[in-house]
Amino acid sequence: MASHGCDGKDWALYPHDADIGVRGCGDDPAEAFANAARALTSAITPLSNVAAREAVQLACSAPDLDVLFVDWLNAVIYEMSIRKMLFAGFEISIEDTALRATLRGETVDIDRHAPNVEPKGATFTGLRVAKGPDGRWVAECIVDV
């Protein structure tokens, strides 16, 4: 499992035997979290396939930043699941270990989006939220699909 950043990009998917690793990078945790959510969508369908038509608000809080990251991805997965939506836009603000976000996306169109996998849940495996030596934040974990 390579785990050193996004190689100059904002997000990356990285391999796991059966599932998928999602990684987001950014100047602060909020940007890294938002980019990891973009990675999550890109595991399902190309981001450019998803139109930011509808907005969904969510909030979550956790005992620490690591758990907050897992909670964040799971909150996005929950909204995907109950609304049958995919999201391409993520605006996040984080205060201490509480998060508020607006997701923007559209209802799944099975023919057009051809969803590749269905995320079941974000896991604590490979979980890392940290500031790298280059000053950029990285947030990553394995998502069960």
Partner 1 sequence: MDLGQFDRIGPYQWQIPQSGGMRVPAQIFADETLLRDMDDKVGEQIRNVACLPGIVTAAYAMPDAHWGYGFPIGGVAAFDPEQGGVVSAGGVGFDISCGVRLHVTNLAAADIRAVQDKLAHELSRAIPAGMGSRGSIRLNDAEMADMLAGGAAWAVAQGYGRTADLARIEEQGKMAGATPEAVSAKAINRQREEMGTLGSGNHYLEVQRVDQLFDDAAARAYGLAPDQAVVMIHCGSRGLGHQIGTEYLREMAIAAPGHGIDLPDRELACAPITSELGQRYLGVMRAAINCAFANRQILTHLVRGVFDRFFDAATLDLLYDVSHNTCKEERHAVDGVSRRLFVHRKGATRAYGPNAAGLPEALSATGQPVLIGGSMGTESWVLAGDARSEAAALSSACHGAGRAMSRHQAAKLWTGSGVTSELAALGITVKSPSKRGIAEEAPGAYKSVARVVEVAEQAGLARRVARLKPMICIKG
* Interface size with partner 1, residues (CB under 8 A): 43
Give the interface segment with partner 1, choosing from 17-25, 28-36, 91-99, 128-136 (CB under 8 A). Answer: 17-25
Give the interface segment with partner 1, choosing from 28-36, 94-102, 108-116, 128-136 (CB under 8 A). Answer: 108-116
C-alpha span between 5 and 136 (Å, rounded): 8
C-alpha span between 76 and 9 (Å, rounded): 22
C-alpha span between 78 and 141 (Å, rounded): 17
Least Å distance, CB 135 to partner 1, is 27
Q: Is 115 in the site for partner 1 (CB under 8 A)?
A: yes
Q: Is 48 in the site for partner 1 (CB under 8 A)?
A: no
Q: Identify the CA nearest to 103 among candidates 123, 89, 83, 86.
A: 89
Q: Is 54 in the site for partner 1 (CB under 8 A)?
A: no
Q: Identify the CA nearest to 13 among candidates 144, 142, 145.
A: 142
C-alpha span between 4 and 72 (Å, rounded): 21
Least Å distance, CB 94 to partner 1, is 18
Judged by the rule CB under 8 A, the positions of this chain that interact with partner 1 are: 13-20, 44, 63, 67, 70-71, 74, 77-78, 80-82, 84, 86, 107-111, 113-125, 127, 142, 144-145
